[in-house]
Amino acid sequence: MPKGLKWIRFYLDVKPIREFKNLEGVDVPYPKNQPMRLLSSLWNADDWATRGVVKTDWSEAPFEASFKNFRANGCVWSNGVSSCNSNTSDNAWLSRQLDSRSQKRLKWVQKKYMIYNYCTDTKRFP
């Protein structure tokens, strides 16, 4: 595995909102050498994802989402070699840990807005 591939982290307005840690050591698959894409979708999961707390008001449809100033940082794979293998300053973001303020922000966002986390759903995903 290329050095530094420890997590995939999502930010919204410079605030960390989601972190997918590399847990290959305990047999959790991790996307490390294949192309990735980011998709956005709307689906009705109010019966289980929100534990019935939040119901979708379908009378408000159609729903729209837009992205502005979207920027993605990532490693480019070509012929089985990752651009992140090199130890250049361009890849410094790969090994950067969240500082204590950002860790608190992440926990706050997850506590306030995250109702369901499939990473901790051991009943559905043992």
pLDDT tens string 41-93: 667 777 776 777 778 888 887 777 777 777 777 776 677 676 666 555 555 66
- Structure-model confidence comparison of residues 43 and 102, the more confident one: 102
Separation between Cα atoms, residue 17 and residue 113, nearest integer Å:
9
Considering only CA atoms, which of 34, 2, 5 is closest in space to residue 96?
Answer: 5
Residues 65/40, Cβ–Cβ less than 8 Å: yes
What is the set of domains in the chain, with CATH numbers? 7-120 (2.60.120.200)
Q: The pTM is what? A: 0.49
Task: Indicate if the pLDDT at residue 96 is higher than 60.
Answer: yes
Q: What's residue 1's pLDDT?
A: 42
